[in-house]
Structure 1
Amino acid sequence: MVQGGNNFGTKFLLDCGATTIYVSRGFVKKNKLKAHVYADRTIKVILGDNKIGESILEL
């Protein structure tokens, strides 16, 4: 994975059928990645147990 001057190895699972990719805040902080918060962009996600979760979209 490369961003700017940061170059590091990591393992992740890629879901080819997914419409969105999610990365934890901890991963972003640990690897010093840049993220942008869209305060007016609340997204809803259907979880594995069919409950609906809400999150703020960050990019």
Structure 2
Amino acid sequence: MSSLTQFIRNVSSEMRKVSWPRRKELTGYTITVVATVTILALFFAGVDLIISKTIRFVLGL
């Protein structure tokens, strides 16, 4: 049990050393991630649609 207590103390100590982003930075990072995921989702949906249409055309379905 003492090793668990020591572990929790060490984690707590390390968490105080972490440099947390400010609200403005965090907002910017969040917008970047959401925009990137949206763009990639649209890109892959388009590629999937093109490949599906091509395969259906080639197979005559």
More helix by share: 2
Larger radius of gyration: 2
More strand by share: 1
